[in-house]
Structure 1
Amino acid sequence: MGTSPKSDSVFDQFGMDAFKKGWFTETGTLNGDQALSMEVEKVLYHEKSKYQDILVLKSKRFGRTLILDNAIQCSERDEFSYQEMITFLPLNSHPDPKKVLIIGGGDGGAVREAVKHPSVESVTLCEIDEKVIEVSKKFLPFMAKGFESPKLSLHVGDGIEFVKNHREEFDVIITDSSDPKGPAVGLFQKPYYESIKQALKPGGIACSQGESFWFDLGMMREIVDICKSLFPVVDYASSYVPTYPGGQIGYVLYSKNPETNFRNPLIKFTLNKLKELNLRYYTPDVHRAAFALPLFVAEELGLDWRVNF
């Protein structure tokens, strides 16, 4: 589908200013009070699935970009920063992560990273929207190549229900979700975290997309408090992603093992290993630095602002 950025159909569906003068504008935050615009070269795909509006465009600076319900999910230029961090922060905090579950992540990015890990033997992906997988395979092959791995088992369905039906099965669970609206709402509620606890093996670790502390700090405090009521160790990390609101995204990490120290990875890749795995953002030092929280964030979340090894 090669629609011009000024197409009336896209213009009408995305609002008066969405493609004004060849620019796409996302109203950024959950409250819609912050905007990010990118110059568009071409709209590659646009269709409404059973669950959400799916748009893929090629932007001048960020390359191919996936947008769900008017919110940017990933772009060709910066997606690796998010995908590597949401994957390797939990994996390298576990002593021997063999069996991994990813909820969401239909673009394939988290799968691409997880199957790289030397310890990982199997990855299960559960994505509710089959259309996102199909579109990503066609238009985002640099991310979707993870679907080709023999380590992967793919399930199309409700991740909340999937987690409920698996007890003490996974070493690491990663929730690569969109914002808490539409099909992702339940992934930010206490029953889901209770199900994750049951689905993790003893000593298991989980990581969930943690929104932006610049816009969603109150909601993140609620999530951290929920996790603290269920897990002995909870922490929050942050990384830079320019196409997300405020250029920052967070990660909530929680462990069944009271000895877990997320701030000092158990598995530390050498430079040669980083190059071998084709990692471009994540390093052991970036891992540790991600937990050095601004004071206002640490105080709001009830966490330490220091990183002690």
Structure 2
Amino acid sequence: MTELWNVWYSELHEGLSGFTVKIDRVVESLQSDFQRIDILETKDFGRLLVLYGSLMAADRDNNAYNEMITHVPLFTHPNPKRALIIGGGDCGALTEILKHPEVQECVMCEIDKMVVEVSKKYFPYLTTGADDPRAKLVFQDGKEYIVNGKDKFDVIMLDLSDPVGPAEELFQEPFYRNVYNRLNDDGILVAQSESPFFNQRSVKGIYANLKAVFPSVHMYTCFMPIYPSAYWSFAFCSKKYHPIKDFDRARWDRLKLKTRYYNADIHTAAFALPEFVKELFR
């Protein structure tokens, strides 16, 4: 019998090019107070988590994003006791952070509680960290949490949506200054910083704003097959430490963390940038 099901998910960059995958079935569609949430089933990538029409996570994305936004700063800071995630509702970053025994507390500030609930239901392997006694989940606007709080952290991860609409102010210099003030004197910030291939104007703006605040700012990248261009970047921003010179290889070797993407070689190699990316900062 001829297959009549012909449903596809596409995420396009400015309506011109992008990522497309055939959908086997729509598992569930929900509307939270903040956004539409879709769970889709595919053959190539397994289940997909789609928020407000943007693909966030997949069963077979090699967990590259979550591992790179967390392990790079945590294996650079010599004593990361307190960590903070702004965003990160699928709990993947939280779970990776809590693989580190040095971390005594990790706060995850996510505005949409339903994203966490849906992730627990459909992506339980991403959410194991939520049950760790060191995890503290706060359901609040991330900007308000940063601006109004006073306690400090060793490492902060900005696991944010794209810099459009209301989220755009979270990529501006005033917000980065507030984040700087929530870090300890030797603290590290890592922020997702978009695709250096598709989002070059945004990337230039993000790094100009970060360099106005932090004395040390370095881009590193990873292969993320479900994100635009499959080439994604992160900004490593530090008050004191260098991501390669201060990388604790011995701790990585000792802990023997189970990962799918991150390792010691990737940690250093990720900071090697192609010439077209270097040109963005000249």
For Structure 1 versus Structure 2, the TM-score category normalised by the shorter chain is over 0.9
Counting only pairs closer than 5 Å after superposition, residues 132-281 of structure 1 correspond to structure 2 as 132-167=115-150, 169-182=152-165, 184-257=167-240, 260-268=241-249, 269-271=251-253, 273-274=255-256, 277-281=257-261
What's the counterpart of residue 263 of structure 2?
Answer: 283
Give 1:26's aligned residue: 11
Aligned residue pairs: how many?
Answer: 278
Distance in 2 (CA, whole Å) between partners of 1:124 and 1:252 is 20
Matches within 5 A, 1:30-69: 31-69=14-52
Task: Measure the CA separation in 2 of the matches of 1:33 and 1:195.
Answer: 36
Instruction: Please name the residue that 1:299 is paired with.
Output: 279
- Calculate the TM-score normalised by the size of structure 2: 0.93
SS of 2:219's equivalent in the other structure is strand
- Structure 1: distance between partners of 2:37 and 2:51: 5
CA offsets 1:162-189 (integer angstroms, 9 cap, x no match): 0112336100000111212355333212
* SS of match in other structure, 2:17: coil
Alpha-carbon spacing, 1:225–1:168, altered in 2? closer, same or farther (3 Å) = farther
Instruction: Confirm or deny: 8 A CA contact 1:220 1:301 kept in the other structure.
Output: no
Q: Note closer, same or farther for the CA distance 1:183–1:117 as it changes in structure 2 (3 Å cut).
A: farther
Q: Distance in 1 between matches of 2:40 and 2:188?
A: 35
Q: What's the RMSD between the two structures over aligned residues? A: 1.7
Which SS does the other structure have where 2:24 is aligned?
strand
Note if contact 1:210-1:220 (Cα within 8 Å) is conserved in structure 2: yes
What SS does structure 2 have at the residue aligned with 1:171?
A: strand
1:87-135 deviation digits (Å, cap 9, x = unpaired): 0111112111110000000000000000001211110000011111111
- Pairwise CA distance, 1:21: 1.4
One-letter amino acid matched to 1:123:
C
Equivalent of 2:111 in 128, 133, 143: 128
Contact 1:51 1:183 in 2 (8 A): no
| CA distance, structure 1, for counterparts of residue 231 and residue 224 of structure 2 | 5
The CA deviation at 1:38 is 1.0
* Identity level (%): 38
Q: What is the alpha-carbon distance in structure 1 between the residues aligned to residue 254 and residue 113 of structure 2?
A: 37
Q: Secondary structure at the match of 2:190?
A: strand
Aligned counterpart for 1:96 among listed residues 59, 79, 83:
79
